[in-house]
């Protein structure tokens, strides 16, 4: 959701090209409008360039109308309040263009503040909630920009990651965080701020993650973090583990394609150093859950959104099967507004809440995790982005180590989430009497996955051919059962979000309770049907579709020759332990969505209306 970056330095670098490069790395967080402001130097004011459109268009504008200066801020927007127009693009200014600011988040009391500011003579130039912040800072009295920002924020209800420039103190950037991720980049004679590490990686690997309530002051000479009472706060400097290669296309046409192809390696990385051949299945040090705590667990709740929620559904079956603990999987956005039943704390065992999130910043997942903690539950995170808010607030967790996921449609995070959940299920099972033969099968199954994934990806040319059929369709139905029902849901989500072909995922046996009415020879029906305990049931569902003239694509297990005549196309994936099969069955569906979107001329990495990392509710 919206990307922000700021830069100040005394190494003689121009800010604008640095900001533009950073923005293009952030574009996956929002891409309906973009803008930047640069401080021209003492007494020379600020210059702002902004427009509705992509970062590329902003770059062209800045080539025609350069903005010279060594400090500045920039923004790429995913609209919440106000249409995606040039006037609503960030940065926003006060009445006299002495302040420029970029904002990620929502000012919830913007209407009230706007009315009060208008009454006291302020003129507004946009329809955004953000603009009130610039006028509040203008209105505030204080000797320094940070003092004025602190006073202004005292009136604000909502969330923000904020970077502010002022003509009075060129070279200084004031940053604030409340509920929206912000980190500082600490370079040599240069300091940066960004909503996301990928924007600053080419400048520095030393970062400071801000906490909610922090205010940071960056100048070309250094940085300081203070709280709302201007008390200095010590914040650790962390090292980023990602390298630049990880955030570049590396010869692929799209990040989504690169990330699909990376999965043998990302799964290897999720497993690295964690698999144990001694019956304990996994070493999960970061989980902070002792063997006796595992043994006492009475129930687990998984909270997540979107693709991560689908991974949670797979995780439910894995954990229930291996560890015999009842698991509920909740949409984080729903869970946070229910009244979750408090953890009884009666000595009969405890509850565990698992927040699954690639970004670690999804607002609903974060709030659901906080709501669960308020009931007395222990909370752990299954997160990809190191240092993200969910990772930092959880009592423990498992990092996916899948590397940065930049394609808006999540792919490699999904398979790593399932692998991490399998490690967790095996770890819990091992403490709770799981037979050692199952432990061995799981360890063996997990260690083979990277190779099986690599083999499955060789189906790409075949899938690419099939994509033509889907590119012409208006609707598609994805059906699966058991551990592969979430794969059907995920396949449908992938198709609709990047190719805009309407797709529905459904439990195969539920089809005859309604969706079967949709079937005709126009609509492709995808069955996810590897050889497992429910395979023959799913084949019966195929017959039902076939009898009504439906066109079937089946994803099944290698060696299965019996679907001949029943389905139009078969994609065969390698055999795995059934509980792990979603890691391979989902791959052709990711590729199918990708190639369908390419054939339809869609912007795969920037699907319309979407953005990576939903930091507003
Ligand atoms: C779909 C997709 C989204 C995310 C969802 C949760 O391809 O990417 O559905 O899965 O927004 O995001 P995270 O996992 O970052 O919490």
**Residue that wins the pLDDT comparison between 483 and 518:** 483
Q: Which is more confidently placed, 459 or 40?
A: 459
What is the arithmetic mean of pLDDT over 231-250? 90
pLDDT score for 344: 64
Span from the CA of 613 to the centroid of ligand 1 (angstroms): 7
Q: Is 411 in the pocket of ligand 1 (CB under 6 A)?
A: no
CA distance 410 to 336: 23
pLDDT band for position 346 (cuts 50, 70, 90) = low
Nearest CA to 198 out of 216, 185, 215 is that of 185
Pocket test for ligand 1, best of 309, 354, 362 (most atoms within 8 A of CB): 362
What is the per-residue pLDDT across 415-432, written as a single tens digit (0 to 9) for each? Answer: 999 999 999 999 999 999
pLDDT of 612 > 80? The answer is no
Count Cα atoms within 13 angstroms, Cβ side, for 1: 24
| 341 pLDDT more than 90 | no
CA-closest residue to ligand 1 atom 7: 409
Joined together, the tokens standing for residue 70 give 């060594």
Q: How confident is the model at residue 1 (pLDDT cuts 50, 70, 90)?
A: low
Handedness of CA 303, 309, 312, 317 (dihedral sign): positive
Tens digits of residue pLDDT in 165-210: 999 999 999 999 998 899 999 999 999 999 989 899 999 999 999 9
Predicted confidence band at 348 (pLDDT cuts at 50, 70, 90)? low
Of 516, 463, 537, nearest to 494 by C-alpha is: 463
Please write the tens of the pLDDT for every residue from 512-563: 898 888 898 889 999 999 999 999 999 999 999 999 999 999 999 999 989 9
Reading the block at residue 609, the tokens are: 């209306």
- Our mutation pick for probing the ligand 1 site, out of 306, 329, 609, 616, counting the most ligand atoms within 8 A of Cβ, is 306
- Over residues 608-614, the mean pLDDT reads 75
Rounded to 5°, the CA angle 364-382-426 comes to: 135
Q: What integer is the mean pLDDT of 356-363?
A: 95
- In whole angstroms, what is the distance from residue 180 CA to residue 490 CA? 27
User: In angstroms, what is the span from residue 312 Cα to ligand 1's centroid?
Assistant: 12
The label of the residue with tokens 């967080």 reads 29
Render pLDDT for 560-599 as a digit per residue (tens, 0 to 9).
989 988 999 999 999 999 999 999 999 999 999 999 999 9
Give the pLDDT confidence score for residue 609 in this predicted structure.
79
Tens of pLDDT, residues 208-226: 999 999 999 999 999 999 9
With 0-12 / 13-18 / 19 or more C-beta atoms within 10 angstroms meaning exposed / middle / buried, residue 602 is buried
By C-alpha distance, which of 481, 457, 487 is closest to 574? 457
For ligand 1, whether the C-beta of 357 sits within 6 Å is yes
Ligand 1 pocket, 388 CB below 6 A?
no
- What lies within 8 Å, CB to CB, of 609 at 6+ separation is none
CA distance 191 to 206: 10
- Spatial separation of the C-alpha atoms in residues 134 and 112, rounded to whole Å: 15
Residue 50 CA to residue 97 CA, distance in Å, equals: 14
Measured CA distances, 40 to 69, 92, 96, 164 (Å): 5, 17, 16, 15
Task: Decide: 306 in ligand 1 pocket, CB within 6 A.
Answer: yes
Q: What are the DSSP E strand ranges found in 387-539?
A: 396-399, 475-480, 502-507, 524-528
Is the pLDDT reported for residue 31 higher than 90?
Answer: no
* Alpha-carbon gap, residue 103 to 615, rounded angstroms: 12
At residue 2, the pLDDT reads 82
Check whether 310 has a pLDDT greater than 80. Answer: yes
User: Is a pLDDT exceeding 90 seen at residue 78?
Assistant: no
pLDDT at 349 over 70: no
Residue pair 478/529 in contact by the 8 Å Cβ criterion: no
- Contact 210/195 with Cβ under 8 angstroms? no
Kindly provide the b/e burial profile for residues 188-225, where b requires at least 16 CB atoms within 10 angstroms of the residue's own CB: eebbbbbbbbbbbbebbbebbbbeeebbbbbbeeebeb
Burial 478-509 (b: 16+ CB within 10 A, else e): bbbbbbbbbbbbbbbbbbbbbbebebbbbbbb
Q: Which of 259, 410, 610, 616 to mutate to test the pocket of ligand 1 (most atoms within 8 A of CB)?
A: 410
Pairing of strands 238-239, 206-209: antiparallel
Residue 604 tokens, joined: 């795969």
Taking the C-alpha atoms of residue 360 and residue 366, their distance in angstroms, rounded to an integer, is 8
DSSP notation for 339-397: -PPPP--SSS-EEEEEEEESSS--HHHHHHHHHHHHTT-EEEEEESSTT-HHHHHSSEE
pTM: 0.90
Atom of ligand 1 nearest to the CA of 494: 7
Catalytic residues: 2, 612
Q: Is the pLDDT of residue 73 over 90?
A: yes
Quote the Cα angle for 50-225-11, to 5°.
Answer: 60
- The residue whose CA is least distant from atom 16 of ligand 1 is 357
Residue-wise DSSP of 73-130: EEEEE--SSS-SSTTTSSPEE-TTS-EEEEEES-BTTHHHHHHHHHHTT----SS-ST
pLDDT at position 347, please?
A: 57
What is the pLDDT at residue 566?
94
Q: Is 416 in the pocket of ligand 1 (CB under 6 A)?
A: no
Instruction: Compute the distance between CA of residue 563 and CA of residue 570 in angstroms, rounded to an integer.
Output: 8
Do residues 403 and 428 lie in contact, with contact meaning Cβ atoms separated by under 8 Å? no
CA 67 to chain centroid: 33
From the CB of residue 511, how many other CB atoms can be counted at a distance below 10 Å? 20
- Enclosing H/E stretch for 593: helix 582-599
pLDDT above 90 as % of the chain: 82
Give the pLDDT of residue 12: 83
**Residue 611: pLDDT band with limits 50, 70, 90:** confident
């Amino acid at each position: 959701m919206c990307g922000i970056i700021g830069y100040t330095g005394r190494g003689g670098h121009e800010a604008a090209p640095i900001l533009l490069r950073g923005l293009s790395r952030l574009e996956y967080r929002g891409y309906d409008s973009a803008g930047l402001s640069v401080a021209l130097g003492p007494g020379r004011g600020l210059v702002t360039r902004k427009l509705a459109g992509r970062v590329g268009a902003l770059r062209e504008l800045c080539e025609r109308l350069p903005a010279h200066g060594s400090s500045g801020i920039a923004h790429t927007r995913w609209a919440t309040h106000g249409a995606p127009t040039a006037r609503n693009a960030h940065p926003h200014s006060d009445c006299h263009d002495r302040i420029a600011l970029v904002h990620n988040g929502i000012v919830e009391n913007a209407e009230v503040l706007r009315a009060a500011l208008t009454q006291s003579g302020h003129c507004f130039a946009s329809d955004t909630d953000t603009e009130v912040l610039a006028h509040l800072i203008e209105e505030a009295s204080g000797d320094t920009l940070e003092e004025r920002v602190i006073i202004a924020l005292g009136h604000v209800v909502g969330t923000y990651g904020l970077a502010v420039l002022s003509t009075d103190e060129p070279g200084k950037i004031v940053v604030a965080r409340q509920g929206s991720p912000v980190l500082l980049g600490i370079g040599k004679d240069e300091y940066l701020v960004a909503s996301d590490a990928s924007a600053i990686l080419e400048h520095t690997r030393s970062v400071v993650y801000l906490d909610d309530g922090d205010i940071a002051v960056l100048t070309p000479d250094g940085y300081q973090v203070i709280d709302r009472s201007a008390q200095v706060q010590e914040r650790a400097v962390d090292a980023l583990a990602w390298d630049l290669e990880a955030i570049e296309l590396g010869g692929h046409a799209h990040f989504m394609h690169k990330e699909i192809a990376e999965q043998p390696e990302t799964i290897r990385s999720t497993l690295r150093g964690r698999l144990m051949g001694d019956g304990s299945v996994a070493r999960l040090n970061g989980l902070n859950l002792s063997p006796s705590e595992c043994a006492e667990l009475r129930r687990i709740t998984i909270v997540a959104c979107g693709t991560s929620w689908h991974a949670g559904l797979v995780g439910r079956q894995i954990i229930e099967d291996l560890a015999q603990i009842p698991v509920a999987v909740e949409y984080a956005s729903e869970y946070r507004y229910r009244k979750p039943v408090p953890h009884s704390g009666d000595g009969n065992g405890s509850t565990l809440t698992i927040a699954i999130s690639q970004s670690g910043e999804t607002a609903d997942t974060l709030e659901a995790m906080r709501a669960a903690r308020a009931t007395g539950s222990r909370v752990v995170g299954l997160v990809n982005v190191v240092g993200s808010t969910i990772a930092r607030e959880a009592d423990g967790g498992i990092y996916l180590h899948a590397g940065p996921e930049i394609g808006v449609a999540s792919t490699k995070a999904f398979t790593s989430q399932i692998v991490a959940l399998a490690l967790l299920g095996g770890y819990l099972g091992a403490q709770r009497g799981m037979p050692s033969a199952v432990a061995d099968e799981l360890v063996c199954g997990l260690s083979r996955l990277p190779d099986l994934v690599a083999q499955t990806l060789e189906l790409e040319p075949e899938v690419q051919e099939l994509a033509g059929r889907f590119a012409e369709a208006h609707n598609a139905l994805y059906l699966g059962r058991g551990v592969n029902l979430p794969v059907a849901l995920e396949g449908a989500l992938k198709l609709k979000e990047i190719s805009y072909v309407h797709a529905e995922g459904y439990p195969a046996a539920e089809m005859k309770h309604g969706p079967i009415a949709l079937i005709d020879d126009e609509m492709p029906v995808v069955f996810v049907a590897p050889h497992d305990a429910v395979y023959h049931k799913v084949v019966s569902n195929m017959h039902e579709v076939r009898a009504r003239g439906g066109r079937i694509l089946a994803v099944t297990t290698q060696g299965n020759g019996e679907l001949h005549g029943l389905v139009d196309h078969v994609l065969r994936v390698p055999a795995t332990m059934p509980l792990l099969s979603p890691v391979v069955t989902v791959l052709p569906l990711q590729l199918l969505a990708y190639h369908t979107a390419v054939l339809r001329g869609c912007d795969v990495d920037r699907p319309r209306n979407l953005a990576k990392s939903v930091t507003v509710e």
